Structure 1
């Protein structure tokens, strides 16, 4: 098994999620990105509990590209405090090789 990274964020509009996904793949910061269905999120914001619908985006990338991907997401994210989660995961060697190849600068 080889290591890749899964970077996840959420936004409030599907079109924004699709734009983040497209930009990351076009710029070779992610080998692929999936826009997930709408989820309801409940959280504290400005001293009160909020509940809103959001769209999730998962990006698959090489560990060496995480920093640049996170910067791109942050620069284009509409939230003041975006959720950007990075998970290092083990993958089968063929898939990991494909991810690494697609994310070469």
Structure 2
């Protein structure tokens, strides 16, 4: 099985506004095997997430939720919600970078 982008493996990859100061990314997987595969990948590496989203690795919070086969990733927004320069008020498009991460077989 070759590597594939996260958005092809997951049922859903989404971004959510977590208030004016934080952004949250959610990944929902279809089965336990997919969940284990993603949990063993760069998707859950704070350094990788920090590089993608221009934040510090120690600011990245990753929560693995095996009972619902989900991963929640939170980190500070690059700009306060609604402030000058905020291009995505509701953080609805921020999942795109995460969705493109290649998940190894």
TM-score by length of 1: 0.40
The structure with more radius of gyration: 1
> Which structure features the higher share of strand residues?
1
Structure scoring higher RCO (CA < 8 A, sep ≥ 6) equals 1
